Amino acid sequence: MKVQEFMKTKITSVDADRSVYDAVEKMVDRRIRSLLVKFPGKDLNYGIITARDVVFKVLAKRLNPKDIKVSEIAAKPVVCFDKNADICEAAALMEKKKIARVFICDGNKMIGVISLIDIMAGALIMRARGSHVF
Amino acid sequence: MFFEKIMSISKKEQVVTNNMRKLIKLLCSTCDLFRKALEKDDRNLMRSLIDLERESDSIRREIISKIYEGAFLPYLRPDLCRFVEIVDHVFDVLEDIVLYYLDGKIPEQIKNECIRVAYLNLKCCEMFLITFEAMLKGNDLREKTLAIRIYEKKIDDIKFSLIKDIRNIPINNFWEGKILSDFISGLTSISDIIEDASDSLQIINVSMK
């Protein structure tokens, strides 16, 4: 089963020069745990900021999220996967890199994101189809 | 097969189960054609779906009349008829959205998401066919119906983002907006109806045991 079948196509992003406060506002407002960070320049110049980064790198250290830029705590580069890659390969990569989501690309264009819950949904569907690969 | 053994299948029952299979396969083909027509923006292909809806009506009539001629035990007949009516309702909704499509134009901003929903609808229908075949074999349907619910949930998520997106699309008049809104609500309700049909299948499966 290909990752594109299970990816989410809505990717919420934030510009790298915005404050962490802006990013938190977006995450809480949309009830999401991560944002794609857009750095200026060429295609695929992206990073990622997660709720974990915000809490551990800013809030737990009692820093003011309005004083810190997203670019200072974002992880870069993001892990990208081809849209035709198999869902099992994505799961293995997530396990190896200890990450909860990978972005899906079509050439130079980012088209979606797949997270742990999507992998689990995919695994259940494969079982129902009779192909147990996990 | 299990279903056939339990029901001490005769020719009438055989005709009914074969026609039910035919109806669900026709549903898969219709969803596939719809997806292709939407992807290619092929209005002629889209128009041809209306004929498939008529074909489904005739299969439904044949199934119902065979059931009332005495196929299956009487306590099962209302559930079987209800199941067929639900499947037929999917064809009705598909026909409606075809007409909305032909009447209006899908804005480019939401076209990709609409194609994605059409693709997931097709996958949901394929899973529904697998569920039906599993029921005929007497297999447990739990994993299959869960997979249908996963597809339905996924489409539901896209539906809410589509509803948000269309608020930003300029609309020229009331009817243009209504047609677009009805198209989206029809497109995203197909998986809901398939989910209802799979629940109905589960009821039939349980009541046979």
Nearest C-alpha in A relative to B131: A128
Domain count of the fold of chain A: 1
* A100, part of any domain: yes
- A38-93 pLDDT per residue, tens: 998 766 688 999 999 999 999 999 999 999 999 999 998 888 889 899 999 999 99
**Residue A107 pLDDT class (50, 70, 90 cuts):** confident
Q: Does B154 touch chain A (CB under 8 A)?
A: yes
Residue A28, domain CATH? 3.10.580.10
CA-based angle B203:B208:B209, to the nearest 5?
A: 105
Q: Does B208 touch chain A (CB under 8 A)?
A: no
User: Do the interacting molecules here have an ipTM over 0.90?
Assistant: no
Q: Where exactly are the structural domains of chain B?
A: 2-207
Mean pLDDT of chain A: 90
Whole-angstrom Cα distance, residue A75 to residue A28? 20
* A108, part of any domain: yes
> pLDDT means per 10 residues in chain B (209 residues)?
58 92 97 96 94 95 93 91 96 96 91 94 96 92 94 93 90 92 96 96 87
Task: Identify all chain A residues contacting B147, using CB atoms and an 8 Å cutoff.
Answer: 124-125, 127-129
* A134, part of any domain: no
H/E/C letters for each residue in B52-83? HHHHHHHHHHHHHHHHHCCCCCHHHHHHHHHH
Q: How far is CA A64 from CA A29, A50, B105, in A?
A: 19, 17, 48
Contact between B121 and B156 under an 8 Å Cβ cutoff? The reply is no
User: What residues make up the domain containing A7?
Assistant: 3-129
DSSP assignment letter at A39 = P
Q: Which CATH class is domain B2-207?
A: mainly alpha
The pair phi, psi for residue A38, each rounded to 5°, is: -95, 115
- B209 alpha carbon, distance to own chain's centre: 26
* A7, part of any domain: yes
Nearest to A120 by CA among A112, A110, A128: A128
Mutation site for B-interface testing, chosen from A129, A131, A132, A134 by largest number of B Cβ within 10 Å: A129
**pTM for this one?**
0.86
* A34, part of any domain: yes
